[in-house]
Chains A and B, each alone.
Chain A
Amino acid sequence: MQIYLPIAEVSVDALLLLGIGAMVGILSGMFGVGGGFILTPLLFFIGIPPAVAVATAANQIAGSSFSALLAHLKRKTVDFKMGLILMAGGLLGSLVGVQLFDMLRAAGQFELVISLLYVVMLGTIGGLMFVESLRALRRAKDPNALLAPRKRHSWVHRLPLKMRFRTSQLYVSAIPPFVIGALVGVLAAIMGVGGGFIMVPAMIYVIGMPTKVVVGTSVFQFLFVTAFTTLMHAVNSQTVDVMLAVILLVGGVIGAQIGVGLAAKLRAEQLRILLALLVLGVCLKLALDLVLVPAELYSFGRN
């Protein structure tokens, strides 16, 4: 069934869109990652203009974060104070990111820069995950290896502006969460990702937050930062396609249910290798598109 997307100005098969949404949903159900980093490149591949894909992905993440946040609120796994600092950084980062987005688009280099960023990011994530899951497979045989010591004191604890975070049971500087939040905000605006793949490890290893509040707190940040990013893109460049976002959301919810079921059946290490291979595959396709001689050298720019 062909559907006309009013902002992207293309006709796409609605089932294909639902399928992509579902695939991203399966990923998030299986691995607990948002999946924005795979959603946006998949939208490029089916012919959605990159700028629309990025801005719409932000809108989609806002929607999927909302229901996730409700679930975390019920379980009381959100550190609001930490969340607000991450959010403050995120809003600033998003503001900067949206300006970058507009500048790159005006210069005609948006597609190139985004593709390069995705190649680097997906290559790094995919590579790390692949190595990590191979190591995990080996570690599974040696039960003692899991007990890695958590670093208690580092340069992070010497920074000023210390604050007490009751929920996380921490007394740390507000600077690292603000900076991490800002970085993630920039990525949300120019790449259409939530940024969980950076924020979650950073919260655990840099800030030292307890694992049980990490996901709820980051979802809290994603909701506000991606909602703000969506607004900014809608006002500045009119690239948010709400119809596309809703179809992806519905697909995503269906996929998430399938993903949770699948995750129960498969082993975690095998799952992670699968995800790593998928990420590396998308990375390779983007890299080839940059290097191979394009079928058409000319393209229409922003008009």
Chain B
Amino acid sequence: MLRALALVLALALPAKAEETFVTGLSTEEIALTADFTGSELFVFGAIRRDAPIDPDVDPLDIVITIKGPPNPLTVRRKERRFGIWINTESVDVRDAPSFYAIATTGPLREILTETQRLRFQIGMDQAVRKVEGHPTLEDTSSFTEAVVRLREKQELYEVLDGEVSLAEETLFQTRIAMPANIVEGDYAAEFFLVRDRSVISTAQTVIVVQKAGIERWIFNLSQQRPLAYGIMSVLVALLAGWLAAAAFRLIKR
């Protein structure tokens, strides 16, 4: 599944130090197939600079985020009513990435100032936004925290503090695990070069995740032509039931 290594020359923000990214990904396309048990994305790159490193300045830090396509979702909370636990309040989240990984060279809140972090919208609290609760519901923060918690449990959201290794202030690399239940779509990989707790340069590239093989065909058919899919499902089931029974009769003879 490993495609040719793709080197992306990134467009850099103008920065005084003139340090920019050259980035790479182990693969630009991930195929979800029946035996797909997750994938490990190898992200690497180098920092290009015009002048030699100034020995007086602070060391560099790097933040890499991978964001899956957003999907709207409803979060429900259970409460005990009449002795049993039932869903009561719910909150609609219109914009939350289906996958979100943040890999850094150090603890996020130490390597970035809070204003910088908010400006570039990095962090789990920045992932889940545009929340619409019920008018009587005052505090939706417990719901947004639940989104992050549930997604972390599914390994769809992950914070990888200190997982980016940076060699000689120039070469960096990290590995980001993507679980089997990721959804199809364009995943944005963003790179932030940080010095003095401020972002000095950024770069972006896209990874395409597609369901492949028969699974992709099944999924797409079920969404795009549900009637045809339903008819096929019934026929396949009839055939499978009949064939399996017939095969057993043959074996028994």
- A residues near B, CB below 8 A? 1-4, 6-7, 9-11, 59-60, 62-67, 70, 108-109, 111-112, 116, 227, 230-236, 238, 240, 242-243, 245-246, 249-250, 252-254, 257, 290-291, 293-294, 296-303
Given A4-B180, A67-B242, do A299 and B229 touch, yes or no (CB 8 Å)? Answer: no
Rounded to whole angstroms, the CA-CA distance of A6 and B212 in the bound complex is: 10
Q: Are A294 and B85 in contact (CB under 8 A)?
A: yes
A240 to B226, CA, bound (A): 10
Is B245 among interface residues, defined by CB-CB distance under 8 A?
yes
Question: Number of residues in B with C-beta < 8 Å to the partner?
Answer: 58
Do the beta carbons of A11 and B77 come within 8 Å of each other?
Answer: no
B90→A112 contact, CB < 8 A: no
What chain B residues lie within 8 Å of A232 (beta carbons)? 230
A242 and B218: CB pair below 8 A?
Answer: yes
A10, A112, A238, A249: which contacts B181 (Cβ < 8 A)?
A: A10
In order of increasing CB-CB distance, the 10 nearest A-B pairs are A234-B230, A63-B237, A301-B74, A298-B146, A63-B241, A253-B244, A67-B245, A231-B230, A6-B215, A242-B233
Interface residue from B37, B80, B227, B229 paired with A11 (Cβ < 8 Å)? B37
Contact B34 A303, beta carbon cutoff 8 Å: no
**How far apart sit A47 and B30, CA to CA, in the bound complex (Å)?**
25
Shortest beta-carbon distance from A216 to chain B in Å: 16
Distance, CA A84 to CA B177, complexed state (A): 55
Give the complex CA separation of A116 and B83 in angstroms: 13
- Please state if A2 and B236 are interface contacts (CB–CB under 8 Å): no
Assess whether A240 is in contact with B84, with CB atoms less than 8 Å apart.
Answer: no
> Which B residues touch A242, using CB under 8 A?
218, 229, 232-233, 236-237
| Chain B interface, >50% SS class | helix
Residues B241 and A231 in contact, CB atoms below 8 Å apart: no
- A-side contacts of B87, CB under 8 Å: 108-109, 111-112, 299, 301
Within the complex, what minimum Cβ distance (angstroms) separates A189 from chain B? 13
Q: A9-B183, A116-B84, A242-B229 are in contact. List 17 more A-B contacts (CB 8 A).
A: A2-B37, A4-B35, A7-B222, A9-B181, A10-B181, A63-B238, A63-B240, A66-B242, A112-B86, A230-B230, A245-B237, A246-B237, A249-B241, A249-B244, A253-B244, A291-B84, A297-B79
Give the Cβ gap from B246 to chain A, nearest Cβ, in Å. 8
For B216, list chain A residues within 8 Å (CB): 6
Task: Decide: A243 and B78 in contact? CB cutoff 8 A.
Answer: no
CA A243 – CA B248 in complex, angstroms? Answer: 21
B222 to chain A: which residues have CB within 8 Å?
A: 6-7, 234, 238, 240
Q: Is the CB–CB distance between B74 and A240 below 8 Å?
A: no
- Smallest beta-carbon distance A67→chain B, Å: 4
Do residues B218 and A243 form an inter-chain contact, with CB atoms below 8 A? yes
| Complex A-B: 22 CB contacts under 8 Å | A4-B215, A9-B183, A11-B181, A67-B241, A112-B87, A230-B237, A235-B226, A236-B226, A240-B233, A242-B237, A253-B247, A254-B244, A290-B84, A291-B83, A293-B85, A294-B78, A297-B78, A298-B147, A299-B76, A299-B87, A299-B150, A301-B87
